[in-house]
Amino acid sequence: MTFETLRYETRDRKAYITLDRPDRLNAIDFRMPGELRAAVRRANDDPGVHVIVLAGAGRAFCSGYDLKISAEDGQGTQRDRAWDPIADYRVMKEFTDDYFTLWGSLKPTIAKVHGYAIAGGSDIALSCDIVVMADDARIGYPPARVWGCPTTAMWVYRLGAERAKRMLFTGDTIDGRQAAEWGLVLESAPADELDARVEELADRMAGVPTNQLAMQKLMINQAYENMGLHGTQILATLFDGITRHSPEGRWFQEFAAAHGFHEAVRWRDSGRWIPEGGGPVPVREDLEG
């Protein structure tokens, strides 16, 4: 398979998958989730691969879904007809399942995060078994403020209820140091040491037989399934569709259509009130104020 949104290579018992849309900060388009699934499958089918390392090209790991066109043109909502929640669910659940091939992979997966892992980018990173971040990298789910719900639901499973609520009630981002301190990720490292830290960890795992790695992973993952992970993801994915079609979600999309996606995001992330029940879209004077 020829990949358009990522690069795939192998060496020294490791498969390297690199998200490769650097001009868009590796934002997720409609091709990337399926290509990610295919790359994970290729690594699992290769008996010479023991560990998978996932990274991003350029200045960031992944900036989330490429929503500029979707929000400004309304492609993320069904505006001209009644919303079909199951059609919406099918698309988003397929994306979530694509990301979660990293979690289900019989070979360990390590996310190497630099720059940003934001929104859908955090879904991808947190689908890996282990996440190592640069100290100055940022991770979070800003669309929790409006127009999104993390479909992988991994925040609560990694952080526990209170800190997951802290992140998703605010949409804030945290840096690698704090993410490691909270246990969201395994560890953080100075940016210039990130590659070496991940290579050291991957090499240590690569010396273990693949059957041993698979059995340990299946056992640990089953504990999460026993806690209802799959059912929680179904609920989260349905809620993600609802957030884009609620009155507030419609307001956000109309804001983006009127003033551009980046201006809508600036309002969302500033902490300014988001009108409940929708309300009129701000005029230019409101933005400047």
Residues 50 and 19 in one domain: yes
Confidence band of 73 (pLDDT split at 50, 70, 90): low
Residues 85 and 189 in one domain: yes
- Residue holding tokens 């639901």? 153
Q: Which of 168-182, 202-216, 275-289 has the lowest mean pLDDT?
A: 275-289
Note whether 132 and 190 are within 8 A (CB): no
In a domain? residue 276:
yes
Rounded alpha-carbon distances, angstroms, from residue 228 to 18, 151, 153, 287: 31, 14, 11, 43
Distance in angstroms (rounded) separating the CA atoms of residues 110 and 91: 26
Task: Say yes or no to pLDDT of 143 above 60.
Answer: yes
Residues 128 and 265 in one domain: no
Distance in angstroms (rounded) separating the CA atoms of residues 284 and 117: 31
Residues 267 and 235 in one domain: no
pTM reported for the whole predicted model: 0.95
Domain count within the chain:
2
Task: Say yes or no to pLDDT of 169 above 70.
Answer: yes
Q: Domain limits at 235?
A: 6-242
Q: How many helices (H) and strands (E) does the chain have?
A: 14, 9
Average pLDDT taken over every residue of the chain: 94
Q: What is the pLDDT of residue 69?
A: 65
Query: 3-state SS of 40-57?
Result: HHHHHHCCCCCEEEEEEC
